[in-house]
């Protein structure tokens, strides 16, 4: 679970000795400012900040379901309790209207609030610490330009001693490395822009990297895959398991539109990320794709027709069309043909036409998490969006045994890989988490 590290922060303190941590723990308050001093912020700067806020997914975390943008209150469940995001509108009482630029920038890059209290790393300041002065100022100008909203987030529901913010000092001592981004002079400007955004505001590693026992990201092996809200954030770069290797063009397309015909659609927490990226300057998304592509393509094959002809393809009865294949002998195969194939085989268009499943990373990945989530819940229609894919959920019609049979069939026959360990448990857990 993403927020498990809150608990382990305590261990970190023990490891380093209370005194050192306490000395480090102390941060001074920064004086309040008169909220009227920012009534006419620099509009051009604020516009740039708006785009940076999209790149940083600020609204995704700082908006409660059905709430006003940036007014906070989104519950972020952890195994130990719930952390709520805060109001970052310029309301003087309940938001950050009395925060100076200096206080805002300290919060963003060091995880310390105006009053000097440590913030939980559910706020990804371990990435935002790389943000340049110029971008941090633009973000501040943007947040001071938006409408103030009066709204206080509920208090965090964490048991003692996790509710003592001082405990976070130990974690930060070990894992927060405050430092700005330094460009690599041996690479071109586009690459450096992409790396800056991916590692900094984009905080891609917050989901796409595994975490150690103390909850900090392990980055030594690249983006080797992580967990986010019950979804698997796949490995990226040279260790990607995508059946068709990712190239720069496919990455740019997927990140900007949330879909690529050879890779499918962005679901779960990735759906919010691409919704945000679809609104930023395409050159920034292009730079991220360029940088990610430089990390390697993965071992997938580039030739889709060869993938289609691979050993896992659906057995076809002689003389039949692709749309009416024979029922395979496996229990899961019958379910696939009757329930899934009408949308996932053949040329049915969006919104109901799905990807050929042998192209999906969900079948190739080390865990069945995303496949199971998709089968249980489907892909809900999005209000307002015109041509977004829609897939019904089958949690009500298929029982756990049937879902396991189906997943085993897809995994072994379509993806041509070994069965997943722990599949039954994963199905039960995903259903329990609904």
Q: Which residues ranging from 318 to 377 are in contact with ligand HEC (CB under 6 A)?
A: 339-340, 342-344, 351-355, 357, 360-362, 370-371, 374-375
- The Cα 60–Cα 291 span in angstroms is 24
Residue nearest to ligand HEC (CB): 264
Q: How far is the CB of 341 from ligand HEC (least distance, A)?
A: 8
CB of 21 or CB of 203, closer to ligand HEC: 203
Token duo for residue 20: 């050192």
Q: How far is the CB of 61 from ligand HEC (least distance, A)?
A: 3
Q: Does 389 bind ligand HEC (CB under 6 A)?
A: yes
Binding ligand HEC by CB under 6 A: which of 57, 91, 135, 284?
57
What length is written for the chain?
A: 434
Question: Which of the residues 83 through 122 are near ligand HEC (CB under 6 A)?
Answer: 83, 85-86, 88, 96, 104, 107-108, 113, 119-120, 122
How far is CA 153 from its chain centroid? Answer: 23
Q: Is 257 marked as a binding-site residue?
A: no
Identify any residues that bridge with 217 across adjacent strands, giving them in sequence order. 211
Q: How far is the CB of 235 from ligand HEC (least distance, A)?
A: 8
CB of 174 or CB of 374, closer to ligand HEC: 374
Q: Does 30 bind ligand HEC (CB under 6 A)?
A: no
The residue count for binding ligand HEC (CB under 6 A) is 78
CB of 83 or CB of 430, closer to ligand HEC: 83
C-alpha pair distances (Å), 55 with each of 123, 226, 238: 15, 20, 24
CB of 21 or CB of 144, closer to ligand HEC: 144
CB of 73 or CB of 214, closer to ligand HEC: 73
Question: Which of the residues 233 through 272 are near ligand HEC (CB under 6 A)?
Answer: 233-234, 236, 240, 242, 251, 254-255, 263-270
- Residue 7, preceding bond cis, omega within 30 degrees? no
DSSP per residue, 232-251: EE---GGG---SS---HHHH
Kind plus residue range of the DSSP H or E element containing 83: strand 81-84
Q: Does 379 bind ligand HEC (CB under 6 A)?
A: yes
Where do runs of H (alpha helix) occur along 96-214? Answer: 101-110, 125-128, 133-145, 168-175, 189-199, 205-208
What does the per-residue mask of binding to ligand HEC show for 198-227, with x meaning CB under 6 A? x--xxxx-xxx-------------------
CB of 50 or CB of 204, closer to ligand HEC: 204
CB of 69 or CB of 353, closer to ligand HEC: 353
Q: What are phi and psi of 181, to 5 degrees?
A: -70, 135
- The Cα 168–Cα 220 span in angstroms is 23
Interaxial angle between packed helices 369-377 and 400-409, expressed in degrees from 0 to 180 and rounded to the nearest 10: 130
- The Cα 427–Cα 353 span in angstroms is 25
Token duo for residue 432: 């329990």
Q: How far is the CB of 399 from ligand HEC (least distance, A)?
A: 13
26, 236 contact by CB (below 8 A) = no
216, 175 contact by CB (below 8 A) = yes
| Residues annotated within a binding site | 58, 61-62, 204, 207-208, 340, 343-344
């Amino acid at each position: 679970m993403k927020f498990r590290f809150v608990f382990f922060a305590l261990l970190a303190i023990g490891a380093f000795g209370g005194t050192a941590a306490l000395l480090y723990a102390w941060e001074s308050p920064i004086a309040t400012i008169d909220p009227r001093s920012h009534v006419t912020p620099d509009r051009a700067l604020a516009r740039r900040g708006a785009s940076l806020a999209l790149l940083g997914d600020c609204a995704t975390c700082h908006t409660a379901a059905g709430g006003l943008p940036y007014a906070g209150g989104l519950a972020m469940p952890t195994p130990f309790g719930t952390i709520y995001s805060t109001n970052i509108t310029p309301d003087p009482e309940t938001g950050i209207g009395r925060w100076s630029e200096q206080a805002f920038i300290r919060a963003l890059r060091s995880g310390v609030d105006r009053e000097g209290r440590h913030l939980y790393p559910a706020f990804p300041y371990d990435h935002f610490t790389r943000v340049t002065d110029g971008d941090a100022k633009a973000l501040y100008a943007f947040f001071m330009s938006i409408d103030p909203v009066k709204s206080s987030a509920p208090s965090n529901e964490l048991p003692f001693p996790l509710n003592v913010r001082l405990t976070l000092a130990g974690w930060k001592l070990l894992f927060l490395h405050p430092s700005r981004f330094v460009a690599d002079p041996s690479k071109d400007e586009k690459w450096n822009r992409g790396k800056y955004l991916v590692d900094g505001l984009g905080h891609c590693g917050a989901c796409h990297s595994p975490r150690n026992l103390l909850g900090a990201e392990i980055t030594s092996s690249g983006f080797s895959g992580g967990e986010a809200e019950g979804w698997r954030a796949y490995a990226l770069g040279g260790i990607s398991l995508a059946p068709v290797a990712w190239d720069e063009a496919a990455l740019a397309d997927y990140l900007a539109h949330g879909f690529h015909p050879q890779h499918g659609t962005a679901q779960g927490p990735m759906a919010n990320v691409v919704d945000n990226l679809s609104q930023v300057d395409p050159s920034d998304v292009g730079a991220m794709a360029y940088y990610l592509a430089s990390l390697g393509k993965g071992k997938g094959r580039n030739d889709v027709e060869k993938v289609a002809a691979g050993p896992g393809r659906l057995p076809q009865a002689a003389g039949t069309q692709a749309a009416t294949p024979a029922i395979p002998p496996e229990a899961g195969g019958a379910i696939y043909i009757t329930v899934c194939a009408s949308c996932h085989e053949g040329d049915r268009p969006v919104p109901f036409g799905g990807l050929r499943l042998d192209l999906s990373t969900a079948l190739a990945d080390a865990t069945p998490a995303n496949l199971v989530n998709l089968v249980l819940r489907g892909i809900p229609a999005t209000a307002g969006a015109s041509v977004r894919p829609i897939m019904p959920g089958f949690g009500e019609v298929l029982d756990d045994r049937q879902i396991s049979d189906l997943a085993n069939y897809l995994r072994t026959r379509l993806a041509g890989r070994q069965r997943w360990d722990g599949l039954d448990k994963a199905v039960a857990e995903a259903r329990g988490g609904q």
